[in-house]
Copies of this chain bind each other. A is one copy, B any other.
Amino acid sequence: MQAQAETRQRLLDAAATTFARKGYTAAKLDEIAEAAGYSVGAVYSNFASKEQLFSELMAERAADRVGAVAEVLRSARPDQPGGAFGELGRLLIDGADKNIEVAALQTEFWLHAIRNPDTMGILAESTRGTLDLLLDVVTRLLEEHRVDQSIVSAEAFAVVVLALYQGLTRQRRTDPSRVSEDLFGQALSWQLAGMPKLRD
């Protein structure tokens, strides 16, 4: 890797954790630079402004956690003890528990995009990537459960899965006792069970 590119990457990494921990406005470029092992000047040598640093991060990181989600979903074996997707849901919830910064950063992206419509396209595109990762996994799930995909599109289901994941993660942070490790898996299996099926 070129020295330049490495600097950029380190700054982006430092920016990710700092923005996640403090929020966009409260995060200081000073702090980001220091966390990356550089000085403020380095930031401005590589990015036009704080705003642009954030935007680039948004483009780079939006699909982040989703990779893990898709990975887990892919390797998941449905219909296990403790309800279908029990294992799956637990893995995802555990991951979210351990890595609060990912959720915080994603949320920070959304708020920023809401307030700066010019950047919403970046977020939409990144999230599109996330959904694509989910798409082939949930397609397999729909097939296994013999769901009629002329009625329930895989795209729609992928969106619902992501929404559930985001919403439950948020509520679990707010009060863990309300969101058991099994809840995500249970909700998923109820969804699948209730969808219209292909005739035999």
- Name the distance in Å between A169's Cβ and chain B's nearest Cβ: 8
Contact partner of A167 (CB less than 8 A), chosen from B162, B173, B191, B194, is B162
Contact-residue size bin, chain A (C-beta under 8 Å from the other chain) = 35 or more
Residues of B within 8 A of A155 (CB): 178
Nearest-neighbour CB distance to chain B for A135, whole angstroms, equals 12
Q: Is A44 an interface residue (CB 8 A)?
A: no
Q: Which of A16-62 contact B (CB under 8 A)?
A: 21-26
Partner of A159, one of B104, B108, B114, B178: B178
Interface-centre pick from A100, A174, A191 (highest chain B CB count, 10 A):
A174
A158 to chain B, nearest CB (A): 9
- B160 close to A110 (CB less than 8 A): no
- Known contacts A108-B111, A195-B194; A170 and B163 CB within 8 A of each other: yes
